[in-house]
């Protein structure tokens, strides 16, 4: 089974990759570089997906896009690939999942969302196996101290205990992540510099310098 995984560099698409590899599937990554505040695609630090691809030894296709053309550009990019299916890291976003399914129908390709509606126990498993950093927050209760923080299993309960509660997977734009190491990475990414930007109730943490190191 040859699949293209819609890859953002965050925890969900990385763990979806881990699952596909464990099933013996042949994978490649497709990263969309959207404009800021895209409702469809993760934005912060996608330029570092290339380093993740080198760490994992996985082929990466990259596409720049705009708000008005992002779905058409995604479909056009997948159409060029010789694959048997499309995989996403969607967990709870009907908006994302339905649009990917439409593209799959248009291209006559099955779509897979292996993390769909998974709960906090699966997230704790993910955080126990991967090195995950929080690089964007936009939710009441998440301040600038969370930016650049490594997420750990204990943080899942902290997020769920907040008032109002935050979706543990940080769905709906509540937060975005970057993965520096995963079980299938041959090398680890060492992040050597961050730039934090905070405005009002939200902020982003941009990677300024990083390199591959031995695990």
Q: What is the C-alpha separation between 74 and 78, in angstroms, rounded?
A: 6
* pLDDT for residue 129: 96
Domain CATH code at residue 93: 3.40.50.620
Which structural domain range is residue 170 located in?
A: 127-213
* pLDDT for residue 139: 82
Task: Answer yes or no: do 17 and 103 share one domain.
Answer: yes
Task: Answer yes or no: do 92 and 189 share one domain.
Answer: no
* pLDDT for residue 166: 84
Task: Answer yes or no: do 105 and 138 share one domain.
Answer: no
Domain CATH code at residue 132: 3.90.1490.10
Q: What is the pLDDT along the chain (215 residues), one digit of tens a residue?
A: 999 999 999 999 999 999 999 999 999 999 999 887 777 887 789 999 999 999 999 999 999 998 889 999 999 999 999 999 999 999 988 989 999 999 999 999 999 999 999 999 999 999 999 999 999 988 888 888 999 999 999 999 998 898 888 888 887 678 999 999 999 999 999 999 999 999 888 899 999 999 999 99
Task: Answer yes or no: do 9 and 63 share one domain.
Answer: yes
Task: Answer yes or no: do 153 and 188 share one domain.
Answer: yes
Question: How many domains are contained in the chain?
Answer: 2
Task: Answer yes or no: do 32 and 107 share one domain.
Answer: yes
Of 112, 143, 178, the residue that ends a domain is: 112
Q: What is the C-alpha separation between 8 and 36, in angstroms, rounded?
A: 14
CB atoms closer than 10 angstroms to residue 12? 27
* pLDDT for residue 172: 67
Task: Answer yes or no: do 91 and 12 share one domain.
Answer: yes
Task: Answer yes or no: do 150 and 200 share one domain.
Answer: yes
Nearest to 96 by CA among 13, 21, 178: 13
- Assigned domain for 122 exists: no
Nearest to 44 by CA among 34, 29, 55, 59: 34
* pLDDT for residue 7: 97
* pLDDT for residue 41: 80
Sequence-distant (≥ 6) Cβ neighbours of residue 76 within 8 angstroms:
none
- Assigned domain for 117 exists: no
* Predicted TM-score (pTM) of this structure: 0.94
Nearest to 81 by CA among 59, 55, 57, 52: 59
Task: Answer yes or no: do 166 and 97 share one domain.
Answer: no
Given a contact cutoff of 8 angstroms between Cβ atoms, the answer to whether 49 and 178 are in contact is no
Task: Answer yes or no: do 104 and 169 share one domain.
Answer: no
Task: Answer yes or no: do 107 and 11 share one domain.
Answer: yes
Task: Answer yes or no: do 68 and 91 share one domain.
Answer: yes
């Amino acid at each position: 089974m040859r699949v293209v995984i819609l890859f953002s560099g965050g925890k969900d698409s990385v763990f979806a990759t881990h699952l596909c590899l464990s099933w013996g599937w042949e994978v490649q990554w497709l990263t969309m570089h959207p404009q800021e505040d895209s409702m469809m695609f993760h934005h912060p630090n996608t330029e570092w997906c290339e380093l993740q691809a080198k760490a994992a030894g996985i082929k990466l296709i990259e596409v720049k896009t705009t708000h008005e053309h992002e779905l058409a550009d995604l479909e056009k990019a997948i159409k060029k690939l010789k694959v048997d299916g499309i995989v996403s890291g969607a967990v709870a976003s009907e908006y994302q999942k339905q649009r990917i399914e439409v593209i799959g129908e248009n291209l006559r390709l099955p779509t897979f969302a292996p993390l769909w509606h998974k709960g906090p126990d699966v997230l704790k498993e993910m955080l126990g196996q991967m090195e995950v950093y929080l690089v964007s927050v936009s939710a009441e209760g998440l301040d600038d101290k969370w930016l650049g923080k490594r997420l750990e299993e204990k943080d899942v309960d902290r997020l769920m205990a907040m008032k109002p509660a935050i979706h543990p997977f940080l769905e709906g734009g509540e937060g975005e992540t970057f993965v520096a190491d995963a079980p299938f990475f041959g090398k680890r990414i060492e992040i050597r510099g961050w730039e934090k930007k905070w405005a009002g109730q939200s902020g982003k943490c941009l990677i300024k310098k990083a390199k591959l190191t031995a695990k």
